[in-house]
Amino acid sequence: MNQPAKEIISGLLYEKSKLKQDIFYLTIDVFKQLKEVVRETVAELKPLAQQIDKRIIIDFKDKSEHEIELRVAGDVMIFSMHTNVFEFDQNHPMWRTSYIKQDHKRSYCGMIMVYNFLADTFKYNRMNDVGYLVSRLFVNHERHYFAEGKRQLGLLFNNFASSEISKEELRKFVEATVIYCLDFDLFTPPFDDVKMVSFAQIQEESSMMSLKTGKRLGFRFQADTDLD
């Protein structure tokens, strides 16, 4: 290997590979904190739910190092940490901020995604059901963070330049996620989208449980500005 090539590789390993390793392990630490916050949130909500109605279920499952399942009443929120480090695409609004322009390395982030499912999807093992991505939390090597998401999830956590991740900030994020998912109602799909069903679906155990269900099934969720 000639010297210039070795220098280029060495430079990239230092500038990018080391940076990505730092961000990956930082994101793991943040996700561990997130698990603690979710556990504490469940402990706080359970007595409240029991006072309101003993049938309301509040629960938490530590699925793996990179996944948390939070159930609140009829909703399940899946918090999933991606194991890769990402950079914003060139059309992302963050490229227009002075914070990123001043230091390109700040654009590399770990990512935690939040999906919303119906609790009955898990209860009845409805494999055809769909969940919705409601938010993505990004964290960089300086522990700065912001979130993309629906309604308050994209408005409350968008100051990347000055927002530093902490347990208290994660608590606010979890609380906002729960509020959004509880307020995000199940709509009936358009009639013509579900007017046909196969004989196999009807014959399956639990009958109609095999039909696909989702909160906005048949609607263009990603463009549902009237619902945001």
Domain residue ranges of the chain, discontinuous segments joined by +: 3-185
Q: How far is CA 185 from CA 109, 146, 182, in A?
A: 32, 26, 7
Summarize pLDDT for 21-50 with one digit per residue, the tens. 999 999 999 999 999 999 999 999 999 999
What distances in angstroms separate CA 111 from CA 5, 49, 88, 211, one per listed residue?
Answer: 32, 31, 11, 32
Contact 155, 172 (CB under 8 A): no
Q: Residue 154: its pLDDT value, please?
A: 75
Report the pLDDT averaged over residues 130-141: 93
CA atoms within 13 A on the CB side of 72: 24
Other C-beta atoms closer than 10 Å to the C-beta of 142 total: 16
Round to whole Å and give the CA distance between 5 and 11. 10
What pLDDT, in 10s, does the model give residues 164-180? Answer: 999 999 999 999 999 99
pTM: 0.82
